[in-house]
């Protein structure tokens, strides 16, 4: 509930801040007669910016389950599944949150991810490749890492950040397009220029804004590793990350940012730090 209230509060805060700043600027330059158009564009930008992110958040578990054809463990069928459920339940109690659903999906690549609309309605999924290639201690560390994402509310926070970024990108791109297109004399040309410039600006600003999103994504991986190390011990977390070296990330594009397996390259557009950098951080703890 707190995360939902935070989501609503953030939407309102972004709207109010932009509205106040724009009103002040236009009042100073004597352009108050154009404020209505600015406010209309701002409202549209907010709707466009947050609606997609919010819907994706609400449907995240359903989309994730169908994307990898994951099977939720409702009743454990063997000792390994019983241990998985007991371990997740124990970690959830330490975070003081409701136990996430636990699922297994078939893949040769070792990976795991967490998703869900709220901390108390989340899902943790592990691949068969991870369960087969890792020791029990290493799997425990992976579960602790994913539980940290849940406990820290990373899914909601990422949605908030993406919504704010989308709002600013749409608003600025369309405002720039309006300014450029207004210099055209022909109405048909003006409309064509507006749509073309708006399209190009959204791509350009979107790429620049994605650097912010990717930075936070890398930051939350470091934080999840650190939380997992505190929960189960740094040696277990380091061993789990060592085990992931050389393996790929076979998750669908929409889920790759949530997987524990990291990008192989260290770049500003990477969703994860490299495994070596993550291990170095843990070794310094």
Distance CA 270, CA 284 (A): 23
Residue 177's nearest CA partner among 30, 12, 45 is 45
Tokens of 37: 């158009």
Distance CA 278, CA 222 (A): 6
* 95 backbone φψ class: left, alpha, beta (φ>0; ψ -120 to 50): alpha
Cα atoms found within 13 Å of the Cα of residue 85, Cβ hemisphere only: 13
Residue 101's nearest CA partner among 253, 113, 111, 135 is 113
Distance CA 54, CA 66 (A): 19
* Options 138, 140, 146, 221, the catalytic residue: 146
- The three-point CA angle 161-162-165 to 5° equals 85
Q: Which pairing describes strands 101-105 and 121-127: parallel, antiparallel, or unpaired?
A: parallel
177 CB contacts (<8 Å, ≥6 apart)?
A: 193, 194, 195, 197, 198, 201
Residue with tokens 């995240």: 60
Is 190 labeled as catalytic in the residue annotation? no
- The CA–CA distances, whole Å, from 61 to 11, 103, 124, 125 equal 23, 11, 9, 10
- The three-point CA angle 58-59-65 to 5° equals 140
Please give the positions annotated as active site: 146
């Amino acid at each position: 509930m707190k995360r939902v209230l935070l989501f609503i509060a953030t939407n309102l805060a972004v709207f109010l801040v932009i509205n106040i700043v724009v009103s002040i600027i236009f009042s100073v330059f004597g352009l108050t007669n154009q404020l209505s158009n600015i406010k209309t564009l701002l409202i549209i930008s907010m709707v466009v910016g947050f609606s997609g992110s919010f819907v994706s958040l609400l449907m995240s578990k359903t989309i994730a389950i169908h994307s990898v054809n994951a099977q939720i463990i409702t009743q454990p069928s063997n000792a390994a599944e019983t241990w998985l459920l007991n371990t997740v339940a124990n970690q959830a109690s330490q975070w003081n949150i409701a136990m996430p659903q636990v699922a297994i999906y078939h893949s040769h690549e070792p990976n795991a991810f967490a998703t869900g609309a709220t901390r108390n309605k989340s899902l943790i999924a592990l691949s068969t490749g991870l369960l087969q290639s890792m020791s029990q201690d290493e799997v425990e560390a992976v579960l602790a890492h994913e539980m940290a994402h849940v406990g820290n509310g990373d899914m909601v926070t990422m949605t908030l950040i993406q919504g704010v970024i989308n709002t600013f990108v749409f608003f600025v791109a369309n405002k720039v397009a309006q300014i450029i297109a207004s210099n055209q004399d022909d109405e048909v040309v003006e409309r064509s220029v507006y749509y073309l410039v708006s399209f190009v600006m959204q791509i350009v600003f979107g790429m620049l804004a994605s650097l912010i999103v990717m930075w936070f994504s890398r930051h939350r991986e470091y934080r999840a590793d650190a939380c997992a190390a505190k929960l189960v011990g740094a040696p277990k977390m380091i061993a789990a990350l060592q085990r992931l070296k050389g393996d790929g990330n076979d998750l669908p594009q929409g889920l790759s940012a949530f997987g524990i397996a990291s990008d192989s390259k260290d770049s500003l557009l990477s969703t994860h730090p490299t495994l070596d950098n993550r291990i170095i951080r843990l070794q310094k703890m």
